[in-house]
Amino acid sequence: PTQRGPQGYPPTVHMAAGILAATHNLTPDDALARLRAHSFRHNQPLLRTAAHVLDHHRLD
């Protein structure tokens, strides 16, 4: 099982938010919000969005 990170998200989500924060000069909270919004807008699971960011270092 995946360990939960702060705020109840898996570490994968936090790593992806960190990449977005560094790439776009965002705060960690804003990067997480952007990740969640993208998932919602594209009707896909948050873990899938996070995996995409980890693989490609960007959101499409």
Instruction: Pick the more confident residue, 53 or 8.
Output: 53
- Residue 7: pLDDT band with limits 50, 70, 90: low
- Residue 43: pLDDT band with limits 50, 70, 90: very high
The whole-number average pLDDT for the span 40-55 is: 97
The answer, yes or no, to whether residue 12 has pLDDT greater than 70, is yes
pTM of the model: 0.83
Q: Is-contact 54 19, C-beta < 8 A?
A: yes
